[in-house]
Amino acid sequence: MSIKEKACIAGAFEHPTRKAPDKTVAQLHAECAKGVLEDAGLSLQDVDGYFCAGDAPGLGANSMVDYLGLNIRHVDTSDTGGSAYLVHVSHAAQAIAAGKCNVALITLAGRPRSEGSSGVGPRNVTAATPDVPWEMPYGPVTVNMYALAAARHMHEYGTTAEQLAWIKVAAAAHAQHNPNAMLRDTVTVEDVLNSPMIADPLHKLDCCVVSDGGGALLVVRPEIARALKRPVVKLLGAGEAIKGQLGGRVDLSWSGAALSGPRAFEEAGVKPADIQYASIYDSFTITVLMQLEDLGFCRKGEGGRFVADGNLISGVGRLPFNTDGGGLCNNHPANRGGITKVIEAVRQLRGEAHPKVQVPNCTLALAQGTGGLLGSRHGSATLIMERE
């Protein structure tokens, strides 16, 4: 069974807050649910499927379905880190195609900024996590587990810090037009290289923001989407994958996008060259570069040259990316940026991105998520969407 054209994204909502010390995580989820239903023109009573991941407080869906007052017949709490919400879109389409639900609500929210989280703290530290006894003594934190992939990429392919910096430059060029973005100042390659070194070779400005907030999506049966007053955004293809350490045969030259991307392109029946806009998970600049290679936008090892010289800037380069400013400048709610990737792709396909960054007549877009740690274990998910 394929999900091609079996479901549409009828609602997309990004919470405007970037700092919410006076709100609970559950409240942020509810505000995102309210926002996405208003965006689509649907009501709480229309929702019959619910999707959430590890950011949801309490016992996931058990807590949140009750809190939100939902009456559902399909539930999915798949968690692949920040890529989970792209997996949810795919699974929602499968559930709709199988007749298990008609209107699937996906919510994400978190307050890492208010709670003082950062990329240099350890994460997922429980003694029962099977890799923890072998790795925690060595100080793995989020940023250095991406830095190891960046260092290896530089070694194997000659990628430079200047090339990585161009990814941040492009994100900042877009963020200046987003009034909700956490960082709105444009930056230069020199600004990135002169920012403090956090974990070689990643500088402070190679790292995404830590922000409070959230987002929500509504995946619906196509007949329902066509009856609403919004542009129709159809799902054409989806892929998912988990990449780990391969039993000790560690290979940092590729990411899970090398598996999830081809699966999505095959289902959609399109090629990377057909994509007019791409949302690419940008936890760090290296994450973007490796996913672009692995998705086939350029050959392996040529990502550095591909992202340089403004090639990712809308209106300037060949592949406009993250026109909201992405995780690098706009928003990375709950330290999980997957949902904002889908939201900006939907804005582009609807023609509702900021006029300064809107891709003209954007009909085919891709969203890519990488959640977890690029240098050890991560989930990858790819979505390809088309405006009807």
Which span (89-97, 192-200, 232-240, 352-360) binds another protein, by CB under 8 A? 192-200
151 φ/ψ angles, rounded to the nearest 5 degrees: -60, -40
* 116 belongs to the binding site for another protein (CB under 8 A): no
Least separation, in Å, of the C-beta of 151 and another protein?
Answer: 5
Number of residues that bind another protein (CB under 8 A): 39
Least separation, in Å, of the C-beta of 244 and another protein?
Answer: 9
| Choice between 82 and 201, CB closer to another protein | 201
Q: What is the Cα–Cα distance from 122 to 154, expressed in whole angstroms? A: 25
| Choice between 201 and 371, CB closer to another protein | 201
Least separation, in Å, of the C-beta of 111 and another protein?
Answer: 22
Least separation, in Å, of the C-beta of 277 and another protein?
Answer: 32
| Choice between 131 and 190, CB closer to another protein | 131
| Choice between 248 and 360, CB closer to another protein | 248
Return the half-sphere exposure (C-beta side, CA atoms, 13 A cut-off) of residue 124.
22
Site for another protein in 39-68 (CB under 8 A): none
Q: What is the Cα–Cα distance from 42 to 188, expressed in whole angstroms? A: 43
Least separation, in Å, of the C-beta of 293 and another protein?
Answer: 17
Beta pairing, strands 74-76 & 197-199? unpaired
Site string for another protein, 347-376 (x = CB under 8 A): ----------------------------xx
Least separation, in Å, of the C-beta of 138 and another protein?
Answer: 5
CB 355 within 8 Å of CB 378: no
**Residues present in the chain in total:** 388
Which span (22-30, 60-68, 158-166, 198-206) binds another protein, by CB under 8 A? 198-206
Q: What is the Cα–Cα distance from 140 to 204, expressed in whole angstroms? A: 17
| Choice between 202 and 216, CB closer to another protein | 202
Q: Angle at CA 73, nearest 5°, toward 70 and 75?
A: 80
Q: Which of 197, 226, 227, 269 binds another protein (CB under 8 A)?
A: 197
Q: Which of 199, 224, 236, 312 binds another protein (CB under 8 A)?
A: 199
**Token representation of residue 292:** 């672009």
Which span (32-40, 62-70, 190-198, 353-361) binds another protein, by CB under 8 A? 190-198
At a CB cut-off of 8 Å and minimum separation 6, what does 161 contact?
154, 192, 193, 201, 203
Least separation, in Å, of the C-beta of 334 and another protein?
Answer: 21
| Choice between 148 and 298, CB closer to another protein | 148
Q: Which of 20, 28, 198, 357 binds another protein (CB under 8 A)?
A: 198
Least separation, in Å, of the C-beta of 124 and another protein?
Answer: 14
Least separation, in Å, of the C-beta of 134 and another protein?
Answer: 4
Site string for another protein, 235-254 (x = CB under 8 A): ----------x-xxxx-x--
Site for another protein in 120-179 (CB under 8 A): 120-121, 127, 130-141, 143-144, 147-152, 155
In the complex, the residues that contact another protein under the rule CB under 8 A are 120-121, 127, 130-141, 143-144, 147-152, 155, 196-202, 245, 247-250, 252, 375-376
